[in-house]
Structure 1
Amino acid sequence: MKKVKWGILSTADIAQTQVMPAILRANNAEIHGISSLSGKAKETALKFSIPNYYGSYEEMLQNQEINAVYIPVPNHLHKKWVIEAARYGKHVLCEKPAALTVEETLEMVEVCKQNNVKFMEAFMYQFHPQHKRVQEIIESGEIGDLRFMRASFSFNLGDKQNNIRMKNEMGGGSIYDVGCYGIHAIRNLLKSEPEEIKVIANIDPQSGVDLSAVVYMKLENGLNAVFDCGMDMAFRHEYEIVGTKGRVVVPRAFRPDLNDGEGLLLIYSEQGFRNEKIIADQYRKQIEHFSQAVLEDRLPSYSSENTIQNMRVIEACYQSIK
C-alpha cells in the first residue's frame, strides 16, 4: 500500500508521546524526517527509527520526498510554519488551536489553498467513533428534543513558572489550550454557531493568561450551552447533552486514549439507563484519515471553514474577557 511520507516539525512532547507513535501504527503513513531547533532531532530520529533528521525546519521542508508535515510548535508560531510548509508544497496537520486569531487562520488557509495543499487542525478526539454514536442517539429521538449541552476539560498544570501555557505572548491560557475542545464539541454536536457569548475567567495576575474560564453560549438554533476549562484543577474531559426525554453523558470525551482507547457513553432515557463502550485509536484514525485525503487528493472531512468558525468563537471568548 502506498504511504504518505511525513515530516515532523519539532520534538515536542505531544509529537513524541502521541502523534509519532500514531504514524508508526497507521497503515498508510510513515515518518520520513524530523527537525528540531533544540539539537534533539538526531536523538529522536534514532529513538523512532526515522531515516532523516535536520537542525532546521527549512532544511526538512526542502526534502521533496516528504508529502505532509505535522506542526506541534508553540501556538504563536503556527501561522509562520503552516505558511512556510504550504509554500514548500507540504500538506499540513497543525496542532490546535490553529492560530491565535481569525485573521491569522484566514491567511493560513488561503496560502494552503493557493499552494494546493491540504490543511487540517489536529482535533484528534473527533475521530473517535463514540461521538458519531452520540449523534445517532440524538437523531433516533431517544433523548427527545435537545435543550442543553455542557462540556468540561481541565487539568492541573503544577509547575506554572516554566510552562509555555503560562506565556501570554505565545498563546498561553486555558481557552486556547483545552477550552477549544469544548467549543468544538458544542458547535459540531449541536450543529449550530453561538450568537451570544459571556465568559467569566480567572486571570493569573503575573502572566495575564486565563487559568480557568466558564463560558456561557446561546446558539443560533436557540439551544443553550456552557463549557468550563482550566489549568488549575483536577483532570476532567467530559460532556453531557440533555434533551426533553433523557440525556447522554460522555465521561471520556477528549482523551479516551488514556483508557486504552475505550470511549464510554452513559445514556439515561425513558427506557432506563445503559452504558455503551466503544474502543478506537483516535490518534491513528486522525493520521490515517488525513493521509488518505492526501493519497486520494480530496479534502479532509474536518474542513478549514470549520476551523475558522472555531477560531471565531475562541476570539469572541477572549473579547468577552476583555
Structure 2
Amino acid sequence: MTQTQNSNRTVRWGIIGAAQIARKNWKAIRMSGNSVVAAVASRDVTRAEAFIHDCSIEVPPVVVGEDGTATLMRPEALGDYQELLDRDDIDAVYIALPTTVRKQWVIAAAKAGKHVLCEKPIAVHADDATEMIAACDEAGVTFMDGVMFDHSARLPAMKHSLADTQQFGKLRRIQSHFSFCADDSFESGNIRANADLEPHGCLGDLGWYCIRLSLWAADDRMPVAVSGRSISQYDGGSVPSEFQAELKFDDDLTAGFFCSFRCVNQQTATFSGDLGYITLDDFVLPFVDAEAKWQCHTHDLQIDNCRWNFGRHTQAQSVWEHAAGEPDSQEVQMIRSFSECVLNGSPDRRASEIAMKTQRVLDALRRSDVEDGKWTSVS
C-alpha cells in the first residue's frame, strides 16, 4: 500500500496501545510543533476513550493552522488496531504494545503506508526485527525505536568531552547501571514480569538503554563478543529481573552494565579514558531541571615520600535543555525529528540500523545467559 498523502505540514499520529509511556509521548506530540494525535486505539474502546480523556485534561490536543491559529482537536477513540491503520488521516503510528505482539502490528503498519515509532525492545528475536525493518524499508517508511535520550542535545555535546585527547584520552571502559525497585505486586501484576508478553524482562526494559549507550559511546560499532547472566528471574526462572553484562569491542574497549527491578532507582554511567573519566547521573530520564548535565574528572594522585594527596579535579558541563515536557526536551525532539522525516519524505536509516544493532546485542546476551555467561559472538 502506498503511503498516506498529507498535503499540510503536520504529521497526524495514531497511538496504538494505551500504555503509561504513551501519555508522555501524547504530550511530546502536542509540544513538537509539527504533529497532532488523530486517533488512539486500544483492545477496549472504553480504555482508549479514558486515555484520551485523561491526557486531554492535562494536555489538550490542538492542531495549528498555517496562519498560526490553534484549534482544539479531539482524537477518535477506536477499539481495533487495524481500524486505526486503515484510516486515511493517519501518517505515523506510535506502537506501545507488548514486545511479543509488536512484530504483527509493525508489519501491518508498514503495509498500510504508516511510519512507525516502536517501543523497545523492538522484537522477541533479531529475526523478527529484521522482518519488521524490511517491511518498513519496502514501504518507504521510517522505523525508529523509542529511545528518547538518542535525541537529547546532551549526547552530541558529551561526544566533544569524550574526544578531548588532552583531558580524557582514549576511551577504555563504559559502565552503566539502570534500575528501579519494583513493589510486591510487580511480579504478579506487571507485564514486564510475564514471559508471554515481555520475555526479556529487565534486560529488554532497562538493559536496552544500557546497550544503546554503550553503542553510542563506541560510535555505533558492534561488540565482537558479549557475556551475560541473569542474577534473578521472574515467571518460573524465564524472565530476567536482574541482569549483568559485559561487552568486548575490537580495540580493547570494554563495556559493562547492570540492570534490575530490585534495586533503588539509579540511572548512572561512567566513561573511563586513560587520562580522565566522565560521569552521568541521569542518562535515561534527566533530573528535573532546565539543564542536562555531566561531569568531567581528571583527578591525580601525588605521592612524595610520606605525602599522599589524591587531588580532585572535576569540571561540570551542561547544555540548556529541559528534562521533560518542553519544546527542547528529549522526547519532544524525538517526535519532532521523526515527524520531519515523514514530512520531508526521507526515512531515517540510522534509526532503524541502531535499533537493529541493539536487538542483536540483546539476543547475544540472552544466548550467553543460557550458557551460564559464556562469551558469545554477536551475529
- TM-score normalised by the shorter chain: which range applies? over 0.9
In 2, Cα distance between equivalents of 1:213 and 1:129: 29
Count of matched residue pairs: 320
How far off its partner does 1:140 sit? 2.6
Q: CA 1:261 to 1:33, structure 2 compared with 1: closer, same or farther past 3 Å? A: farther
Gaps of 5+ in 1: none
Given the alignment of the two structures, is residue 273 of structure 1 paired with residue 310 of structure 2, yes or no?
A: no
Summarize deviations over 1:55-89 as a string: whole Å, max 9, x none: 11111111111100000111111111101111111
The alpha carbon displacement at 1:219 in A equals 0.9
Residue 360 (structure 2) pairs with residue 312 (structure 1): yes
2:130 to 97, 106, 111: 106
- Letter of the structure 1 residue corresponding to residue 241 of structure 2: L
Alignment match of 1:10 (pick from 3, 13, 17) = 17
Cα deviation code 1:247-273 (max 9, x no counterpart): 1101111101x4246422011026931
Distance 1:255 1:261 in 2: 13
Paired position in structure 2 for 1:45:
52
Matched, 1:250 2:280: yes
**Range with greater deviation from structure 2 (307-316 or 277-286):** 277-286
Per the alignment, residue 85 of structure 1 pairs with: 109
The answer to whether the Cα contact below 8 Å between 1:120 and 1:303 also exists between their aligned partners in 2 is yes
Between 245-254 and 183-192, the greater mean CA deviation after superposition = 183-192
Label 1:78 to 1:206 Cα distance change in 2 as closer, same or farther (>3 A): closer
Secondary structure, counterpart of 1:169 in structure 2: coil
Residue 150 (str. 1) matches residue 156 (str. 2) = no
Q: Is the 8 A contact 2:16 2:94 kept in 1?
A: yes
Deviates more, 1:285-294 or 1:117-126: 117-126
2:126 paired with 1:97? no
Superposition RMSD in Å? 1.6
Secondary structure of the equivalent of 1:152?
A: strand
Paired with 1:43 and 1:214, the residues of 2 have a C-alpha distance of 39
Q: Is the 8 A contact 2:203 2:243 kept in 1?
A: yes
Alignment of 1:119-198 (within 5 A): 119-141=143-165, 142-158=167-183, 159=185, 160-172=187-199, 173-191=201-219, 192-198=221-227
How far 1:203 moved relative to its partner? Answer: 3.1
Contact (CA 8 Å) 1:201, 1:321: kept in 2 or not? yes
Q: Which residue of 1 aligns with 2:69?
A: none
Q: Distance in 1 between matches of 2:49 and 2:314?
A: 53
8 A Cα contact 1:289 1:300, kept in partner: no
TM-score, normalised via structure 1 length: 0.95
**Can you give the 5+ residue segments of structure 2 that lack an aligned partner in the other structure?**
1-7, 62-73, 300-311, 323-328, 371-379
State how 1:204-283 maps to structure 2 within 5 Å.
204=233, 206-207=235-236, 208-256=238-286, 258-260=287-289, 262-269=291-298, 272-278=313-319, 279-280=321-322, 281-283=329-331
Supply the distance in 1 between the matched residues of 2:19 and 2:135 (Cα, whole angstroms).
25
1:194 is displaced (CA, Å) by 1.2
Deviation at 1:290, TM superposition (A): 0.1
State the Cα distance separating 1:43 from its structure 2 match: 2.4
The whole-number CA distance in structure 1 between the counterparts of 2:75 and 2:361 is 41
Runs (4+) of structure 1 moved beyond 6 Å? none
